[in-house]
Amino acid sequence: MWRSGDGALAAGAPVTNDGCPSVPHFAEPVTVVRDDADALVAWLAAGTPVLRVARADGLGKRDDKSTLFTAETVQDIGVHAYYDILRIAPTGRPWSVWVFFTEHTREFAGWYVNLEDPHARDEHAVYTRDHVLDLEIEPDRTMTRKDEDELALAVAQGRYDAATAAAIEAEAAEAEAIVADWGPPFCDGWENFQPDPAWPVPGLPERWAL
Ligand code: MG
């Protein structure tokens, strides 16, 4: 189970135990591809049921950015859609690299660096917390920062202090340098990954039913 923090953008307090969800947060059942000292590699298939966070007022999570980090939230269940994602979480690093494949066709659609807390792992789950800022890398290796405006809103709305936001920007620069050098995991051929067709799509525990 890939578990992220609370709040509409998963940037809140990390959920640190594997009991029933106590606060609205994100949890995605994944298939473990590799789990060793270097990294956790996990497959999130389109069609997988997931826990996600929704605004209590019924608006979409980005419909009112003036309350992006302050709106009351509720637990929601949805289905992961549009892309199959291979996630590579290098041990001890503040990000995971997501390799996107278009749903159904499995066509490679690009990379993403999701800046997030270094990952805690146990036998059941990986625990992290989103850092709002992300990097998008096109199949032609064109790279852009995503959601810089939301990082500024996170400071304005009290989620981060200025020093935390600056540290996140430094993490982004560190990841950008790896992309510029085309270091691991980008050079490791994961864009050619194919899941075992026998893998079932994992589900959420029944005790998490809303
Ligand atoms: Mg992110």
> What distance in angstroms lies between residue 40's CA and the mean position of ligand 1's atoms?
18
> What distance in angstroms lies between residue 199's CA and the mean position of ligand 1's atoms?
27
> What distance in angstroms lies between residue 133's CA and the mean position of ligand 1's atoms?
6
> What distance in angstroms lies between residue 127's CA and the mean position of ligand 1's atoms?
14
Residue 210 pLDDT > 80: no
**What does the pLDDT read at residue 18?**
54
Percentage with pLDDT > 90 across the chain: 83
**What does the pLDDT read at residue 21?**
60
Residue 208 pLDDT > 90: no
> What distance in angstroms lies between residue 115's CA and the mean position of ligand 1's atoms?
6
> What distance in angstroms lies between residue 198's CA and the mean position of ligand 1's atoms?
30
**What does the pLDDT read at residue 163?**
98
At residue 9 the predicted structure's pLDDT band, cuts being 50, 70 and 90, is confident
Q: Is the dihedral of CA 158, 162, 164, 169 positive or negative?
A: positive
**What does the pLDDT read at residue 23?**
79
| DSSP structural state of residue 207 | G
What number is the average pLDDT over the span 65-84? 95
Percentage with pLDDT > 70 across the chain: 95
Coil, strand or helix: which one is 206?
Answer: helix
pTM, two decimals, is 0.93
**What does the pLDDT read at residue 20?**
55
* 96-135: burial string, b at 16+ Cβ within 10 Å, e else: bbbbbbebeeeeebbbbbbbbbebeeeeebbbbbbbbbbb
> What distance in angstroms lies between residue 130's CA and the mean position of ligand 1's atoms?
5
The CATH homologous superfamily for domain 2-191 is FomD-like (2.40.380.10)
